[in-house]
């Protein structure tokens, strides 16, 4: 009986942190702040999906957790590359 309540509290806390990260995306003085905030939102989403699948009592969303982790990494890397070089995919040298 205690489990749903604990899970709900956990969801609430993660939601609040998402809002805080959103504030950082909107306000963040540099682009890097915003990208890091987006990456953190992704990690929070991982946690939220995990909590949700416990709450819904299903294992169908475990793939989603893996995927979010992967994609958040890819997204962050491409943003980082963009910030560093202005392009995401570079041309090969010998072309």
Partner 1 sequence: MSFLHLAIFLPFLMAMLIPIFYRWTNQLHTGWIVLPIPVILFIYFLTFIPQTMQGVVTETMPWIPSLGINFTVVVDGLSLLFALLITGIGSLVTFYSIFYLGKKKERLNNFYAFLFIFMTAMLGVVLSDNLVVLYLFWEMTSISSFLLIGYWYHRERSRYGARKSLLITVFGGLMLLGGILLLHVITGSFSLREIIGEASVVQASSLFIPAMILILLGAFTKSAQVPFHVWLPDAMEAPTPVSAYLHSATMVKAGLYLVARFTPLFAVSGVWFWTISLVGIVTLFWGSITATKKQDLKAILAYSTISQLGMIMTLLGVGAAALHYDSWSDDIYIGALVAAVFHLFNHATFKGSLFMMVGIVDHETGTRDIKRLGGLMRIMPITATIAFIGTFAMAGLPPFNGFLSKEMFFQSMVDVTTLNLFNADTWGILLPVIAWVGSIFTFVYSMIIFFKTFGGKLKPHLLPKKPHEAPLGLLLPPLILSALVVITGLFPNLIAKPLLEPAVKSIMPSLYGTDYHVHISFWHGFTMALLMTFGVIILGILLYKTANWWRPFIKEKVPRFFQWGKAYDNSMYYMEQGSYRFTLWIMTGWLRTYLNYMLMAFIILMLGTIFATDALNFDISTISRVTMMDYVLALVIVVTLVGVVFSKSRITSIILLGAMGYTISIFFIVARAPDLALTQLVIETISVVLYLLVFYHLPQFSNIEEKPKWLSVKTLISFGVGLVVFLISLSAYDTTFYDSISQYYIDNTYTKAAGKNIVNVILVDFRGFDTLFETVVLAVASIGIFGMVKLRLARREKNENK
Q: Which is nearer to partner 1, 6 or 8 (CB)?
A: 8
Euclidean distance between CA atoms 40 and 37, whole angstroms: 5
The CA angle 34-43-73, to the nearest 5 degrees, is 70
Q: For the segment 55-94, give every residue that binds partner 1 (CB under 8 A).
A: 56, 58, 60-61, 63-64, 67-68, 71, 74-75, 78-79, 82, 86-89
Q: DSSP assignment of 57-92, as one string?
A: T-STTHHHHHHHHHHHHHHHHHHHHHHHHS-SSPPP
The H-or-E segment that residue 19 falls in is helix 2-27
| Least distance in angstroms from the C-beta of 18 to partner 1 | 6
Q: Which residues bind partner 1 (CB under 8 A)?
A: 8, 11-12, 15, 18-19, 22, 25-26, 31, 34-35, 37-38, 41-42, 45, 48-49, 52-53, 56, 58, 60-61, 63-64, 67-68, 71, 74-75, 78-79, 82, 86-89
């Amino acid at each position: 009986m205690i489990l749903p309540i604990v899970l709900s509290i956990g969801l609430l806390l993660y939601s609040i942190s998402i809002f805080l990260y959103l504030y950082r995306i909107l306000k963040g003085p540099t682009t890097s702040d915003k990208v890091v905030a987006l990456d953190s939102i992704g990690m929070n989403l991982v946690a939220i999906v995990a909590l949700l699948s416990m709450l819904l009592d299903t294992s169908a969303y475990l793939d989603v957790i893996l995927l979010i982790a992967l994609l958040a990494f890819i997204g962050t890397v491409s943003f980082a590359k963009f910030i560093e070089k202005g392009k995401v995919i570079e041309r090969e040298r010998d072309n």
